[in-house]
Amino acid sequence: NAGVTQTPKFQVLKTGQSMTLQCAQDMNHNSMYWYRQDPGMGLRLIYYSASEGTTDKGEVPNGYNVSRLNKREFSLRLESAAPSQTSVYFCASSPETSGGARENIQYFGAGTRLSVL
């Protein structure tokens, strides 16, 4: 069971460089999410996608763009990296629930540790 797969695991960038973080899930989930994790800040939502073809901003979207390429893949792009974007990035996905269930159980990848110098 692969679950949610993120690549790369580690990346070092120079200020101004661009890169794309990749995320893929094999659980046929409709919803996908990108978070960043910083010390003392917990997880903050960057962008999310409720279904293929739709994306919405989260709490901290500035400096990022996303693409929901298909149902499986949801990528996060940094167009011009800044030191403030040094963080650990997590992708997550969640399944549909039926019968009006009030759950939003999310499944996380192992993360990408990004340093911007």
Partner 1 sequence: GNSVTQMEGPVTLSEEAFLTINCTYTATGYPSLFWYVQYPGEGLQLLLKATKADDKGSNKGFEATYRKETTSFHLEKGSVQVSDSAVYFCALSKGFSEKLVFGKGTKLTVNP
Structure tokens at 61: 């979207």
**Choices 15-23, 69-77, 79-87, 106-114 (CB under 8 A): range interacting with partner 1:** 106-114
CB of 107 to partner 1, least distance (A): 8
Backbone angles phi, psi at 84, to 5 degrees: -65, -10
How long is the chain? 117
59 to 78: interface string for partner 1, x by CB under 8 A = --------------------
Least CB distance from residue 44 to partner 1, whole Å? 8
Q: What residues have CB less than 8 Å from 40, skipping those under 6 apart?
A: none
Residue placing its CB nearer to partner 1 in the complex, 33 or 74: 33
Residue with smaller CB distance to partner 1, 57 or 77: 57
The answer to whether residues 40 and 108 touch, using CB atoms and an 8 Å cutoff, is no
